[in-house]
Amino acid sequence: MAKRRSNSSERRDGRRTRQTIRETRKRCLSVSVPPLSTPVKSESMAGMTSGKRAGSGGANFIDHEINVCAGEDVAYEIISLACEGRREIRVISAEGTILDATLIDAGNSLLIPGHFRILSFFGGSKPIKIKGAKNVVKSRYKVSLEAADGGVIRRIVGLPFTALSPVKVR
């Protein structure tokens, strides 16, 4: 019986930990979503009967802004949003500063120490289905960072990619 009690207390502690993480994420990670609008049918689509219509790409596009607090992992927050929403996410820009950037160059992960300003940040995350696996996301983001000396670094983003100041991702 002692084992059951310790397991249940561990479960309760695990739940508390998960709840604390959720509360922290609610405070630090905010997503603003404008009201949904219905796509307008144009006259060129009036006679079409198939499910795919010409010019309907992006009709279900929802504009988001993700605010990531200082100290949080920017890339991880974007990827976790893709896991939760089961939607493909495209990032077109970000602004803020990064501390000790982890970047990927020729398949190797590089930790570059210092403070960097984000010049450009783009890419995407897409949930994929793999038999027997849950919440698998394929992601690739590219970034251009400006170092304190004015030099510019362009690479693929690795984990962790920690925000030094609040970062806005669009």
pLDDT, residue 137, reads: 85
Q: Residue 55's pLDDT band (boundaries 50, 70, 90)?
A: low
Confidence (pLDDT) at 10: 38
Lowest mean pLDDT among 38-47, 62-71, 89-98, 117-126: 38-47
Strand ranges for the chain from DSSP E: 30-32, 65-68, 89-91, 94-95, 97-105, 108-128, 136-146, 152-157, 162-163, 167-169
Domain spans of the chain, in order of start = 1-29, 65-170
The fraction of the chain above a pLDDT of 90, given in percent, is: 45
Inter-residue contact 121 to 93 (CB < 8 Å): yes
pLDDT at 36 exceeding the cut of 50: no
pLDDT at 120 over 70: yes
* Lowest pLDDT segment from 84-93, 117-126, 153-162: 84-93
pLDDT tens column, 129-163: 888 887 788 899 999 999 999 999 999 999 999 99
- Give the per-residue pLDDT at 103: 95
How far apart are the C-alpha atoms of 154 and 33, rounded to whole Å?
Answer: 30
The pLDDT value given to residue 113: 94
**Confidence class for position 44, pLDDT limits 50, 70, 90:** very low
For residue 97, what are the CA distances in angstroms to 8, 52, 72, 105, 140?
A: 42, 41, 12, 21, 20
pLDDT exceeds 90 at position 169 = yes
Enumerate residues 6+ apart whose C-beta is below 8 A from 97: 115, 116, 117, 118, 163, 164, 165, 167
Average pLDDT over residues 65-88: 88
3-state secondary structure of 143: strand
- Give percent of the chain with pLDDT exceeding 70: 65
Residues in contact with 3: Cβ distance below 8 Å, sequence separation at least 6, in sequence order: none
CATH number assigned to the domain covering 65-170:
3.30.1330.80
- Please compute the mean of the pLDDT values over residues 28-56 and round it to a whole number: 44
Average pLDDT, the chain: 75
